[in-house]
Amino acid sequence: MTAFKARHVGSLAAALALTVAGSAAATAEAQDASKGSKNAAADLREVMFVGNNWDGTADVIKSGGDLAKIGRINVIPDKEKRIAEINADPIKWIYFTAIRNGVGEGHDQYVDDMYSTPDDSAMVVSRPSFADVVSIDLATGKINWRFPVSGYRSDHMAVSPDGKRVAVSASISNTVHVLDIATGKQLGSFKTGDKPHENVFSEDGKYLWNMSIGDVNTATDAPWLDWTKGDRKITVVDANTYEQVKVIDMRERLDAFGRKDLSDAVRPVAFTPDESKLYFQVSFFNGFVEYDVASDKITRVKTLPKNPATSEDRTTWVNDSRHHGMSMSPAGDKLCIAGTMDDYATVVDRSSLQEGPLVTASKPYWATVSGDGKSCVISESGSDRVTAIDFATGRKTASVEVGDHPQRVRPAKVPADWTGPSAG
């Protein structure tokens, strides 16, 4: 072999050795990363956050099974400071008092909605009476950041599919703010109809839907006075630019379907897994509506049973609700409906729209899905409980006592050994 060939063979052998060594190192690094990822996942447990609106607390419960309580978080550790600020500002005090006496049913509204951050180290909470969103450290119970919304009341939230952004409705300023969930910095905002309520990100994260419900705490509840409730519509925006993509006026769609009698105030909603259909509840109605997204038409309306004991005086229904709260099974074949003023919940077959057993519940206010996807989980705001109903049988499987007036229930994760903050 010539010296030239020998040098190049040696060089090639050295290069191969480096490549093999590099590949081995990369493989080892990948394996370590994989182990780290698995260990990190193993160190977390799936739970549910339950917002106790009138308490100012959030219970953390198991995400399935017996729904056993794991811990509790004080979501208003800064209460004295916030109250002092409100008392020092006459306008803030007027709105704070109006919220208590109106939508709060005589109570301050301390927690509406909540989610965990992507690293599962904190809970992000909207606090209506304090008109803000805060991030609370799960380990210490202390506030990481606070974002005051425009206007004087915060409401429903939604988290983007990647977990990095949280959208919150500012119900008095008719605005949705979109925040960086880690820092609380505003990334954008957009205007909505009157009293923005629920927010939903599309699964691909490209769009953000907002449903406005109008004035729900006035006494002008007779059908012929529906026009007094304000400008109610669905606003769809580009989730990156926050520019308006589409506005959907359900008044036009309901009228075209022959249901001029129904309110166009869209309340809780549920998309099918492929997002081709949107199901939604409206004010004053014991049932729900099916809307086909592609054709932009209402396709079916389902009326559910009335409770004979429920007063027909619409002014006695809480914030214009009749039914408030719905979720869909992961397979998309079942809907779970919270019949708020009728004191029941039921599972409905999505194909036939046939309801299952009516499960007695005290003013159920929200519905979500258990961690294993097998059950619908409702909040019973009238009895301070959270209850699970099996999607397959429609029967109640578990129930647990929580704090005062539970409303939103959201899936989340916490450290595996977590039982509550170490400091208030």
Task: Kindly report, residue by residue over 27-59, the tens digit of the pLDDT.
Answer: 444 444 444 444 445 589 999 999 999 999 999
Tell me which residue of 192, 297, 179 sits closest to 234, measured CA to CA. 192
Give me the pLDDT at residue 422, please. Answer: 81
User: Are 364 and 339 within 8 A, CB to CB?
Assistant: yes
**What residues pair up with 344 in beta bridges, in sequence order?**
339, 360
Q: Which one-letter DSSP state was computed for residue 355?
A: B
**3-state SS, one letter per residue, for 111-174:** CCEEEECCCCCEEEEEEHHHCEEEEEECCCCCEEEEEECCCCCEEEEEECCCCCEEEEEECCCC
Distance in angstroms (rounded) separating the CA atoms of residues 45 and 356:
32
Tell me which residue of 225, 233, 230, 228 sits closest to 252, measured CA to CA. 233
Give me the pLDDT at residue 42, please. Answer: 54
| Averaged pLDDT, 356-366 | 98
pLDDT at 22 over 70: no
What is the CATH number that goes with domain 45-415?
2.130.10.10
pLDDT tens digit string along 328-355? 999 999 999 999 999 999 999 999 999 9
| Averaged pLDDT, 205-228 | 94
Tokens of 340: 């708020």
Task: Work out the mean pLDDT of the chain and round it to a whole number.
Answer: 91
pLDDT tens digit string along 67-125? 999 999 999 999 999 999 999 999 999 999 999 998 899 999 999 999 999 999 999 99
Q: How many CA atoms lie within 13 A of 149 on its CB side?
A: 34
Give me the pLDDT at residue 5, please. Answer: 34
